[in-house]
Each structure stands twice: as structure tokens, then as C-alpha cells.
Structure 1
Amino acid sequence: MRNLGHIFRDIRMDKGYSLKDIADGILSVSFLSKFERGDSDISLSKFYLLLERLNITFDEFSFISNDYNPTQVETLMKNVRNAYENNNINLLYKLEQEEIYKWKKYNFSSHRYNSIMISALAYDLNKQLELYQEDITLLNEYLFKVENWGFYEIMLFGNSMSILPIESIITFSKEILNKTQLYSRVKKNKEKLIRVLLNTIVYCIESNRPSSALHFIISAEKILERHSDLYFEKVKLLYLSGIYKIISGNSDVGIVMSNRAIKIMDALGDINAVNNHEIYLRKKIVFSNTANPN
């Protein structure tokens, strides 16, 4: 990775700003010049102010400083997502073993947690795979220990739900708003958070916990009220709210709500989502009719 000062200088010059343009009111021109040459370090607070003056986000700067490549975690998750979406358990196993190898080689705990997350996704595809209680316990302990969840912890929890007991899912999901408060203004964290809550609602419905499902529906609604751009999440919540109505005995209203969401998915051309959600809706209607016969 190149020196941060050199990268900053390249961006500044590419945007046509002078040293004085960027330094004014933040630090001296001479100090900024030393930073750009790599002769001086700079505090994080000052660095963020300089990035704002340069009209560039920290994520953009990190991307450039990594030679326009995604981070290791981003690359891992892209590969994991592709394997999961294509039901490629062999590739998931390969990625899991690579993370275990890195953990043993570098003794860095995140690689261990990554391997558990990948095994959880594989288990979600094939419930015949073996689970290790040691892994579940280790994951639980880590998530309980971390007070302030960033994107990594939200991702880790969201992708590992299939191996956690419903009690842990409900507990973590109830705490997640408090645990993520420190990073609540980070957009991608908020998007990941709401998707975790949506998954929690599904797990509550499948575990016959309607009161818990309602709790998270209300929590998700409050978040989405403040984020008008999260269209997918709003459609998914409408669908799940309909499913909740169905399993709670209000089938007529629930079916209308869920079908409305499916029609939106259809209008957007997401055929796979339409088919999957129609199948799940029919299953819940049949279950509701069986559980509550006329």
C-alpha cells in the first residue's frame, strides 16, 4: 500500500486544489506539505477534515489507497455470496478451510469467526452438515463481548443465524439497535441492520414466535420511516407483515398485503423473488387454514 500522504497529494492535484485550498483553517500549509511527502503523520480527526475539504469519503480514499481493489473482507464476502447463491457447498467448504488456514497461520481471530460464518451458510443450504457446538459457543461469546457492533459484527451475526438458537437470535436482535448506535449514521451499516431484522422476523415466524415477530416488525417500521431510499427493505417488510397477519388469524388482510409486495417485485422484474415469495405465501396460507379451520 502506498504512503497515505502521497495518495492524498495525488487526489488533491487531480481535483485541482492547491495546498492552501485544503489546509486553510485545518492546519498549516507547511504541515500539509510534510504529510503529503510522507515526512509527518497526522491525527485522524484532522485527516477526516481534510477528506471533507477534498470532497471525498473515507471509503473512497480507502479504495484508492488499496490500488482500486476491494478489501480482503469485501473480496471474501463476494466469493461467499456467489457460492451461497449458487448452492455451491464445495466452494463454501474451500473458503471455510482457507479462513481456518489463515487463522492458524496468523492467529487472527476474525479468520476463525469468518470460518464459522461460512459453515453456517453452508448449513443453511444443507441441514445434513455437521455442526460443532464449540463454534456456536465461540460465536455467541464474541458477539456478546463486543459492545459496539460495526459492519463486521452485523454481517457476522446476520450470516450465522442458521446455527444460532432462536433465543440467541431474538436476544441479539433486541440488542442490535443499542449495539450499533455508535455507527448508526453509516449508510451501509443501516442497510445491513434492517436486513438482519427482516431475517429475524422470518426466524420468529418459522419458530412460532408471533409476538417476537411483531416486535421486530415495529422496530423495522420505525427505522424505515427515516429512510425513504430503502425500497427493497420496505417491500420485504410489507410482505412479512402480511405473513404475520396470516399466521395471527387475519388471513384476508395478510394475503392482500403480501400479494401487494409480490406485485411490486414482479413490476421490478425480479422473477426469482416473485416465485420464492409466492411459494412461501401459499405454504403459510395452507398452514393457517389447517391450524384455524372454519
Structure 2
Amino acid sequence: MTIGELLKEYRLKKGLTQKQFADGIVSTSYYSKVEKNEHRITVEDLVTILEHNDIAMWSFFRKLSLKGDFQHEYIIKLENDVLDAYYHSDKKKVEEIREDVEESTVSNKDEYLLTIDGWLEILKKDDEEPNLEVRNALKDKIFNIPDINKDKLNLFCNFMEFYDLESNVMITKNAINKFIDSNDTESQEVLLAIMDNLLYLSIKENNFNYVNYIISNAEKLPLKPQFYFYQNIISFYKHLTNYHFNDNKDDIDVCRAIIKSMKLTGMKSYGTELEEFLNNHI
């Protein structure tokens, strides 16, 4: 089915005229030719029409033979929605996204399904049985990427919990050596996220052998607006570590202030998880 045919199908189901369906986005005459496959609609206009008519992108895109820009838009939406669902601990939403991807025509579908299965593994509670096949497949995928490039950096950042601490430290050191002095802001942002994760895993295991090394390297990175969240978390773990060694209540006050800031800026779920982590380690 073409984009035009599918838009027409959704429009008729909603009982709308072409003018109502594309109101304020493209002209009625232009939209009419889109439905007839005489005009090609842009990705931006298509997404806007779908949002205007309360049509889920997943439901729409999975019925298409995805190509070019539309496939790219689908993948971006996939990655953003999975991350958003993960940060809100919304396992049901991740499962729904997985079902949509399973039914889609996206290229490299198996790779995306494996990544989504990885997020579902991370969302499992401690008493749930781990899927070792999924976890090992992701670990193998990361190790099989020969160099620390952006793809490997992102994959490793997302699934560090599947490794033992020593392996995490080894890979993180390699990443630090390659990207600490880089001018690539995106890579440095992921590097900060990796260091955040490693601090979390180290403190969780009550292993402070590498904490100062991680924090000192994190503080070498420049202050940039896009780094604020990660540098804030680095500060949280730094003060929690200071409290571990010095028993200074001022450090806990700083940790609580960071948690409050998280909640006030819309990251309530993350702030709550950070608060639980703090309470378990003081």
C-alpha cells in the first residue's frame, strides 16, 4: 500500500474530508494529489498530518513498505519512543513497540528487535528470570564491533548491566582514551553517560576502586548545555562517594538537592529511582 492510499484509508475511517484531514498543513488540492499518488508528501508534513489526526506513527508506518526518508523517520521514532518508555519504566509500552516493529517492514528488523529485547531485560525486576540468550547476543554484538566507534559506544552505554564490573571498566577506559579529548560532542555525551552508568554499577556493588578515576576524567570534559544532565549525575555520585568515606551530611544534602532538581525539571521517575538508590547507600 502506498502512503497516499493509506492516508485515504485512515481519513475515510474517521469520516473526514480532505480539507479537514490536512487542515493548515498542506493545501487541499495538494493533499488530494498525495492520495492519488501524484504528489510526494514530505516526511515532516506526513508526521504533522498523523499527529493532527491522532494517528499513531507506529500503526501507520508498519503497514507501509518503508523506504528512504520514511524508514529513517521510523527508526528515529523507534529509538526515541523506546528510550522514553524505558526512562518511565513503562514495560508495557516497550512491549507494544516491539509488536509494531515485528509487524513492520523496516530493514535490519532483527537488530532492532534484539535492542528492544535488551531494554525489556533491563526493565526486569531482580526476581525475574533473565533471558541469557538475549543478554549474550547483545554482549557478542558489542564485542564483535572491532573499534570503539559511535555504534559500539551507544550499544555499550545502553547495556552495561549485562557485563561484570571488570569488563565494564576495561571497555570504559578504552572509550575514555579515545574520546576524552575529542571534538565530537555527541561521542563525549555518550561517554559521560557511560561514566554515569559505571559509577552507578560500582557503588551498587560497593566497589569504589575506580570511582575517583571515573569522576576525575568526567570533570575533564567541558561544560556544555547538552552535558548538564550527565554532569549533574556525576556530581550526585561524587558527593555520595564523599559521604561514604567522610560521613559528611553536607554531601547528602547536595545529593538530595540534585534529586529535587530532577523531579522539578520533569524527570520525576528518574529522580525517584535516584532517591531510592541514595536511601539504599547511606
State the TM-score bracket (shorter-chain normalisation).
Answer: 0.5 to 0.7
Q: Cα 1:69–1:251, aligned 2, differ >3 Å: closer, same or farther?
A: farther
> How much has 1:206 moved relative to structure 2?
0.3
> How much has 1:126 moved relative to structure 2?
1.8
8 Å CA contact 2:192–2:231 kept in 1: the answer is no
Q: Cα 1:238–1:113, aligned 2, differ >3 Å: closer, same or farther?
A: same
Q: Cα 1:132–1:265, aligned 2, differ >3 Å: closer, same or farther?
A: closer
Alignment-derived partner of residue 197 in structure 2: 199
TM-score by length of 2: 0.61
Alignment-derived partner of residue 159 in structure 1: 158
The answer to whether structure 1 residue 237 and structure 2 residue 239 are counterparts is no
1:242-289, CA deviations, whole angstroms, 9 ceiling, x for partnerless residues? 11122334343532432343454466565555544334323322xxxx
Q: Cα 1:268–1:94, aligned 2, differ >3 Å: closer, same or farther?
A: closer
1:197-216, CA deviations, whole angstroms, 9 ceiling, x for partnerless residues? 11111011101111122221
Higher relative contact order (CA 8 A, sep 6+): 2
Larger proportion of helix? 1
Measured in 2, the distance between the counterparts of 1:202 and 1:90 equals 25
The one-letter amino acid paired with 1:200 is L
Alignment-derived partner of residue 88 in structure 1: 90
- Please tell me the root mean square deviation across aligned C-alpha atoms, in Å: 3.5
Alignment-derived partner of residue 217 in structure 1: 215
Picking from 70, 77, 80, the partner of 1:75 is 77
Alignment-derived partner of residue 43 in structure 1: none
Measured in 2, the distance between the counterparts of 1:68 and 1:97 equals 19
Measured in 2, the distance between the counterparts of 1:102 and 1:216 equals 41
Measured in 1, the distance between the counterparts of 2:250 and 2:257 equals 11
Measured in 2, the distance between the counterparts of 1:130 and 1:160 equals 17
Unaligned runs of 5+ in 1: 1-65, 286-294
Alignment-derived partner of residue 255 in structure 1: 252
Alignment of structure 1 residues 1-294 onto 2, 5 Å? 71-96=73-98, 108=108, 111-127=109-125, 128-178=127-177, 180=179, 184-223=182-221, 226-229=222-225, 230-262=227-259, 264-265=261-262, 268=265, 271-285=268-282
The one-letter amino acid paired with 2:223 is H
8 Å CA contact 1:266–1:274 kept in 2: the answer is yes
Q: How many residues of Structure 1 are paired with residues of Structure 2 in the alignment?
A: 214
> How much has 1:156 moved relative to structure 2?
1.3
